[in-house]
Amino acid sequence: MFDCHCHILPGIDDGSKNVEMSLAMLDREVRQGVEGVIFTPHFYADMNSPSTFLRRRERALQELEANLSRLPQVPRYVAGSEVHYFRGMSRADGIESLCIGNSDYILIEMPFRDWQPQFIDEVEELSVVLGLRVIIAHIERYFDQDKKIVKRLLDNPNFLIQCNAEYFIERTRNALSFMKTGRIDLLGSDSHNLDSRRPNLADAVQIMQKKDKKGALDHIVRVSRQIFEAAT
């Protein structure tokens, strides 16, 4: 299994506070059987330019890598970002640099305010105009938005859909029902720390395995691996 959304890099956002926490989080990922991890620190356009963000991310990654020898085992990893939606993002300089590794996959966090149709227009332009492969982060957090607009997003075959492990752990019946639609492409722990938002992918996978009659997990692993291969 692959963790395609987490905040393990140290000291760059509201995730891991330091290298010690990052190492402990990575060790927990390995113990849960996670094969690969995509580091996705938050990117907010009103706080950093892409170039400034990438410099900060590189420093955090180098700090972590300098200490990885302390772990008995390290999963595969690649750096990406969780890009919070902003107006004009499809025309923003350097937006492509926020993709996962060397790939054209980009993780987008949609706004939590009430959605307007133009929000989807903007994200669609990332795909249609720039040719980026859009991943929608933690889709379950948006199910209380306008159902027609959410359906438009889910019906777009160019978008990949990511769910958080927490969805299956805390809202199991709803999550398993959504899993049956076949619209989950990726899983992520969205882990930020070692307690309230810890790495928890294995718990979700165990729940999914009991009801997975349509090969949902096989699909998720296959798509995750494709992203890793494209990114590295």
Q: How many structural domains does the chain have?
A: 1
SS3 39: strand
What is the residue whose two structure tokens read 């882990």? 191
Cα dihedral 212, 165, 84, 92 in deg (nearest 10): -50
Query: Residue 174 belongs to what domain range?
Result: 2-231
Average pLDDT of every residue of the chain: 97
* Distant-in-sequence, close-in-space partners of 203: CB < 8 Å, separation ≥ 6: 165, 168, 169
Compute the distance between CA of residue 145 and CA of residue 1 in angstroms, rounded to an integer. Answer: 30
* CATH code of the domain in which 27 resides: 3.20.20.140
pLDDT in tens, 39-55: 999 999 999 999 999 99
pLDDT in tens, 121-167: 999 999 999 999 999 999 999 999 999 999 999 999 999 999 999 99
